[in-house]
Amino acid sequence: MRRPTAAQLVARLRRIRVRPSALLAHGVAWGIGLAWLIPFLGLAMAAIRPIGEILFGWWDFQSFHPTLANFAIAWDHDSYPMSEGLRNSFLVAIPSTLIPILVGAMVGYGFARFRFPLRDYIFVSVVVLMAIPQQMVAVPLFRTMLAAGLVDTFQGLILVHSAWGIPWILLFMRNFFQTLPAEVEEAARVDGAGDFKIFVKIVMPMALPAFAAIAVLQFMWVWNDFFFAQILMYSQDQLLATQRVTRLAGQFYSPWDLMSAASIIVLIVPVALYAFLQRYYIRGMIGWTIKG
Amino acid sequence: MRANGGARRLHLSFPRPLVRAAFFIPAVLLLLFLVILPILQTIFLSFYSDGAFVGVDNYSDVVSDPATINLRGFPRGPPLGTLVHNLIWTAIHLPMSLFTGLFLAVLLQRVRGASIVKSMIFVGMVTPMILGGVILRFLFEAPIGLVPSAFGALGFESLNVNWIVHPSTLLFGLIFGSVWLWTGFSLILYSAGLTTIPKDYFEAARVDGASPWRIFRRITWPLLRPITLVVVTMTVLWELKLFDLVLGATNAGGGVGSAADVLALQMYRYGFVALPPRVHQAAAVATLLTGLTLAWTVMMFRHILLGARFSRGKRSGRLARRLAGRA
């Protein structure tokens, strides 16, 4: 397409009639959207300013000395360094994403393609587990982990997150596999391929977009989780990122400068993930709620 | 290796049912040991005390405890007990977040940059809820927080206080704050739902001279019913399971006078903070909470599955179907 000349642009602009109702809609929508961000703006302001400047409100700009010192202190904090927290959270969240995807895809395929007695009842029963609060398993889970020597280890927490992710991934993957045409698989079977080979060579590659959607959501849930980490991890150097922010506060004093900086350090990962992989995130979320 | 067909013969040596069972084994093991057995053990624990079967004693202990239900608190406000707090939370948070999200979704249909505005509102949904709680504390504390100062500037001196240290302002502040965090959920689902409604319906109604409100009442709202059911189901589950948000904003005690205490936090306190641990009461609270979430889920599932049949013939959907027939 050829670029329009300036005269054509002006003519086009003249033709646009601004209707008051449309203007109002834009104003209200954008106004609400921006207002929605104000608490985050406050957090950012508290994080980049010395505590003395924000004690009576971060919106007071009479003295304004932006600095990254709070981030530096939170990153290398004496007791609860956030750098260590991020590392731990990654070490837990990455396997806790990959394992349940693999396990959930296998079992989802099984429920989609194999026939066995009571299949649909079992399927619904497993999916209903999604409704169960984490507190329902907490005490026995802690005891089991203690007996297995897995309390305060990443492996223990990874296993718990992997198991806990299966119901929703099963739901998502079974629905996904049911939408795939079975003909390709049938053809491979006629050629003598076994179930496992068909799954690895044919089905898994087709499921990659579904895996991406699940990975974003599952990673974010594990990253954002607090309860399981809180009951299973307690050594100071093993604490995950989400466990550290509130620990920066003393009983009678909250260092809002450090807590804000630490919060932003933790927040940046899910927010960046959402910003860059929004398409997959939304698809995952709508997939497991609406289609389910 | 492959040339003489050895691999295939090796493969055939596994009988098919065994291969198929292998698809289920990892999931079964994980679910069995880390989800299903712990659930059964918790139920078991809730009926025992120090190794002796005590029937429903733990439940009656928990339910009769003012920490769970404190009806005498009603004239003067919170704390009203964890169970009551969860219910109040639901009663306020569900309609507020649902209708705010719906309103924004409808409004954003004809706004440029709608996806940016949606993302701005959705940030709350990707925020770890423990930090959501921390941010709410930062918002409601005085003099550092914005909310008390804003009310002060508007002349509401009674609200220009530290919301976190007064029971009523703490509970209702956190409830309103949680609407801020959760509205993105209904916004995104309703936005997705609105794209599935054919534009012809709206146009036909507009040609007929229907007002925007009438279009919303007779077309948008009935056709979004499946979305509404999902939003209601998931939102109530979220309200029942509240934990991190309250802990992040207050402490393991649910804040001043336990004014913002909720069931999940009560369980955590009994099982993991109390010395000595009150494991059996913790199990009873957990089972009670699970009973609520399961009953709600089963009820809504039935509603969602049977819903289509029931809504047929209802007045609200008639116009939409008439238009559908014309389009």
More confidently predicted of B74 and A140: A140
List C-alpha distances in Å: A154 to A94, A219, A229, B50, B301.
11, 15, 9, 32, 36
Query: In this predicted structure, what is the pLDDT of residue B7?
Result: 44
**pLDDT tops 90 at residue B142:** no
**pLDDT tops 80 at residue B71:** yes
**pLDDT tops 60 at residue B5:** no
- B 56-95 residues with CB < 8 A to A: none
More confidently predicted of B282 and B143: B282
Q: Long-range CB contacts (< 8 A, 24+ apart) of B36-39?
A: B36/A129, B37/A140, B37/A144, B38/A136, B38/A137, B38/A138, B38/A139, B38/A140, B38/A141, B38/A144, B39/A132, B39/A136, B39/A137, B39/B290
Lowest mean pLDDT among A8-17, A198-207, B209-218: A8-17
Give dist(CA A203, CA A171) in Å, integer.
17
Lowest mean pLDDT among B99-103, B169-173, B199-203: B199-203
Q: Which of B297, B281, B296, B294 is closest to B42 using CA atoms?
A: B281
Query: In this predicted structure, what is the pLDDT of residue B58?
Result: 94
Give dist(CA A122, CA A131) in Å, integer.
15
Chain A residue with the nearest C-alpha to that of B103: A29
**pLDDT tops 60 at residue A104:** yes
Q: Which of B82, B240, B304, B264 is closest to A131 using CA atoms?
A: B240
Q: Which residues of B touch A52 (CB under 8 A)?
A: none
pLDDT band of A1, cuts 50, 70, 90? low
**pLDDT tops 50 at residue B311:** no
Tell me whether residues A128 and B34 touch, CB distance under 8 A: no
Tell me whether residues A110 and B23 touch, CB distance under 8 A: yes
Q: Which residues of B touch A102 (CB under 8 A)?
A: 26
pLDDT band of B321, cuts 50, 70, 90? low
Tell me whether residues B143 and A57 touch, CB distance under 8 A: yes
Q: Average pLDDT for residues B185-205, to the nearest whole number?
A: 91
**pLDDT tops 70 at residue A285:** yes
Do the beta carbons of residue B128 and residue A270 sit within 8 Å?
A: yes
Q: Render pLDDT for B147-182 as a digit per residue (tens, 0 to 9).
A: 999 999 999 998 999 999 999 999 999 999 999 999
Number of A–B residue contacts, CB under 8 Å:
269
The distance of B75 to chain A (nearest Cα, Å) reads: 31
More confidently predicted of B308 and B233: B233
Beta strand residue intervals within A110-247, DSSP E: none
Provide CB contacts within 8 A for B278, sequence distance 6+.
B270, B271
Query: In this predicted structure, what is the pLDDT of residue B1?
Result: 40
The pLDDT > 90 percentage for chain A reads: 73
Q: What is the ipTM of this complex?
A: 0.90
The distance of B70 to chain A (nearest Cα, Å) reads: 22
Give dist(CA B183, CA B192) in Å, integer.
14
Helices (H), chain B: 6-12, 16-22, 25-31, 37-46, 57-64, 82-108, 114-126, 129-140, 146-153, 167-195, 199-207, 212-215, 221-223, 225-241, 244-249, 263-268, 279-311, 318-326
Q: Average pLDDT for residues B266-282, to the nearest whole number?
A: 95
Query: In this predicted structure, what is the pLDDT of residue B314?
Result: 47
Q: Which residues of B touch A133 (CB under 8 A)?
A: 240-241, 264, 286, 289-290, 293
Do the beta carbons of residue B86 and residue B263 sit within 8 Å?
A: yes
Give dist(CA B220, CA B102) in Å, integer.
10
Instruction: Map residue A26 onto helix, strand or coil.
Output: helix
Tell me whether residues B127 and A224 touch, CB distance under 8 A: yes
Q: Render pLDDT for A146-168 as a digit per residue (tens, 0 to 9).
A: 999 999 999 999 999 999 999 99
Q: Which of A128, A83, A219, A224 is closest to B36 using CA atoms?
A: A128
List C-alpha distances in Å: A183 to A187, A189, A191, B6, B67.
6, 10, 12, 27, 60
- A 2-21 residues with CB < 8 A to B: none
Query: In this predicted structure, what is the pLDDT of residue A279?
Result: 84
More confidently predicted of B314 and B147: B147
Is the previous residue joined to A255 through a cis bond, with omega within 30 degrees of 0? no
Mutation for testing the B interface, residue in A118, A128, A136, A269 having most B CBs under 10 Å: A136
**pLDDT tops 80 at residue B110:** yes
Mutation for testing the A interface, residue in B49, B122, B138 having most A CBs under 10 Å: B138
Phi-psi region at B221: left, alpha or beta (left = phi > 0; alpha = psi -120 to 50): alpha
Q: Average pLDDT for residues B43-64, to the nearest whole number?
A: 93
Query: In this predicted structure, what is the pLDDT of residue B316?
Result: 45
Q: Render pLDDT for B231-254 as a digit per residue (tens, 0 to 9).
A: 999 999 999 999 999 999 999 999
Give dist(CA B238, CA B264) in Å, integer.
11
Query: In this predicted structure, what is the pLDDT of residue B9?
Result: 44
Query: In this predicted structure, what is the pLDDT of residue B22?
Result: 92
More confidently predicted of A180 and B39: B39
**What's the mean per-residue pLDDT of chain B?**
88
pLDDT band of B6, cuts 50, 70, 90? very low
Tell me whether residues B14 and A194 touch, CB distance under 8 A: yes
Do the beta carbons of residue A48 and residue A66 sit within 8 Å?
A: yes
Q: Render pLDDT for A22-52 as a digit per residue (tens, 0 to 9).
A: 889 999 999 999 999 999 999 999 999 999 8
Q: Render pLDDT for A206-228 as a digit per residue (tens, 0 to 9).
A: 999 899 999 999 999 999 999 99
Residue A136 structure tokens: 């329902």
